[in-house]
Structure 1
Amino acid sequence: MLERVLTIPSSADRADLAVFVGRAIRLDEAAVIRLKRRGDGRVAVWAPTGFDALATRVVAGEVRPADTTAAGDVLLQALGGSSADIDPGFAMDSAWRGALPPESGFVHVDDVPARVLLGLAQRGAALAKEHGSAQGPPTSLLDQKVLEVAGGGTDVAVSMRTVFALTGMGFVPLADGRPATADTDLDAIAASEIVRVRATASWLRLDARFGAVYARRAAAIPLFPA
């Protein structure tokens, strides 16, 4: 019996998870993936995005130990097999930085049209191309608060970092079900497609159809309209 094993019975779920891990590696080639059993018995899969935000997908399955880590490239290769039992390789716990957000306690702030967020990402990408360097987009652009959302007794500001993380992971779908990309025509996204904004005092959460991203909130800093 393997001491470390991720079990995902569905081949479709394994394929979806491989896409998720592959996108995480494209954003951060040294990505460490965290696998954690949830209270509902499913497995939450977490990945850094390179934008100070965490991306997550939830799959039906089991993981042993209940909270463990794996190198993204090793896990991606293992997901290419046909077995439901996946060896995630050596634990990478020392390489994981930071705590995970809580499973519950999030307040629904509001829903934002997915077209709005992808439009912000496209304008941000154009500015990054114009003003960026070999080190990537300027920090001032990434840190800019590009959207403020209010509701549920809470006001939250969404930074360009978080928008880039959401769209970079391909979590926004087109009307035909394929993931939107940086070059997507906004009209190809259904007008009814939304991204749900939730928050706690410490975390901001954006839920799209194909996954969610979480970012720390700077709760001590007043938030103003962007």
Structure 2
Amino acid sequence: MERHVAVAASDLSNATAFLAHAVRLDDAAVVRVVARADGLIALWTHTGFEVLATRAVSGSVAPRDVVCDASALHAALGSGIPGEPVDPGFSLDSAWRGALPATVGFRHIDDVPARSVIALARDGARVARDEGSAHGPATGLLDQDVLEVSTDDGAFTAAVTMRSVFALTGMGFIRDANGRAVTETSDADAVAPDEPVRIRMSAAWIRVDARYGSVYQRRHRDLAVTVL
């Protein structure tokens, strides 16, 4: 069966940026490319923080669900003709761990300023440098709930961990007014004051949406699988 990934020229820079950030977080990163019902394709990757990251772009994929090496796909898209199909390389289906989150069933909990998320990432990075080791930030820091939001009636509450904050900034999903990816070392004032980060929740996942992508953390870390 033919395997290919094609990304529209208008979204090529977004796709390659996603792949570049995935590789920066994990040099052995794999990416899962899935055809969506709305005609877009979704790029998914594990971030190294036990959090999933995703971005939707215009394009096509065959078959409808492909797992491949993120570096190989980045190189193929970068050297190919924009909009034309490229070979994603060897199938790495066995390297993908777990099921993807369901596409429905998420409830909007609240929005928070993107500046607040950047400030949390900046503070977390400072603690990680002071208390981390050669293996990276301490697990206690990553598992800490650093942002808690509730619905207006208080019926639903979502707690976002530092893992999600680091993943959101590490994947470049928050950008400044000039379109540059904002990292945990950036000045929070570089982001527009009204730029939102939206938090949604399902039975199994907490979803954090920024303008340029989303991250998903499990509500219960001992939950091994979720229904597609």
- Same fold by TM (over 0.5)? yes
Q: Within 5 A, what are the aligned runs for 1:33-112? A: 33-83=31-81, 84-112=84-112
2:162 counterpart of 1:160: yes
Which ranges of 4 or more aligned residues in structure 1 deviate by more than 3 Å? Answer: none
Q: Cα gap change, 1:79/1:156 in structure 2, threshold over 3 Å: closer, same or farther?
A: same
Distance 1:67 1:36 in 2: 4
Counterpart residue number, 1:6:
5
- Matched-pair contact (CA < 8 Å) for 1:201–1:219: no
The structural deviation recorded for 1:219 is 8.4
- Matched-pair contact (CA < 8 Å) for 1:118–1:182: yes
Counterpart of 1:17, as a letter, is: A
Counterpart of 1:164, as a letter, is: F
The structural deviation recorded for 1:154 is 1.6
The structural deviation recorded for 1:218 is 1.8
2:190 counterpart of 1:188: yes
The structural deviation recorded for 1:212 is 0.6
How much is the aligned-residue C-alpha RMSD, in angstroms?
A: 1.4
Counterpart of 2:63, as a letter, is: P
Counterpart of 1:107, as a letter, is: R
Q: Cα gap change, 1:66/1:195 in structure 2, threshold over 3 Å: closer, same or farther?
A: same
Counterpart of 2:176, as a letter, is: L
Identity fraction in percent: 50
Distance 1:44 1:210 in 2: 12
The structural deviation recorded for 1:15 is 2.1
Q: Cα gap change, 1:16/1:219 in structure 2, threshold over 3 Å: closer, same or farther?
A: closer
Structure 2 unpaired stretches of 5+ = 223-228
**3-state DSSP class of the match of 1:73?**
helix
The structural deviation recorded for 1:183 is 2.2
Counterpart of 1:103, as a letter, is: T
Give the TM-score, by structure 2 length.
0.92
Q: Cα gap change, 1:169/1:219 in structure 2, threshold over 3 Å: closer, same or farther?
A: closer
- Matched-pair contact (CA < 8 Å) for 2:149–2:158: yes
| C-alpha distance after superposition, 1:146-177 (max 9, x if no partner) | 11110163211000011000011111111222
Counterpart residue number, 1:207:
209
The structural deviation recorded for 1:105 is 1.4
**3-state DSSP class of the match of 2:78?**
coil
Counterpart residue number, 2:28:
30
Distance 1:183 1:130 in 2: 15
- Matched-pair contact (CA < 8 Å) for 1:32–1:92: yes
- Matched-pair contact (CA < 8 Å) for 1:15–1:79: no
Distance 1:49 1:157 in 2: 19
Q: Within 5 A, what are the aligned runs for 1:124-135? A: 124-135=124-135
Counterpart of 1:108, as a letter, is: H
Distance 1:187 1:6 in 2: 37
The structural deviation recorded for 1:19 is 0.9
**3-state DSSP class of the match of 2:173?**
coil
- Matched-pair contact (CA < 8 Å) for 2:16–2:78: yes
Give the TM-score, by structure 1 length.
0.93
The structural deviation recorded for 1:52 is 0.6
- Matched-pair contact (CA < 8 Å) for 1:145–1:159: yes
Distance 1:40 1:16 in 2: 18
Distance 1:50 1:17 in 2: 19
Structure 1 unpaired stretches of 5+ = 221-226
How many corresponding residue pairs?
218
- Matched-pair contact (CA < 8 Å) for 1:11–1:82: no
**3-state DSSP class of the match of 1:89?**
coil
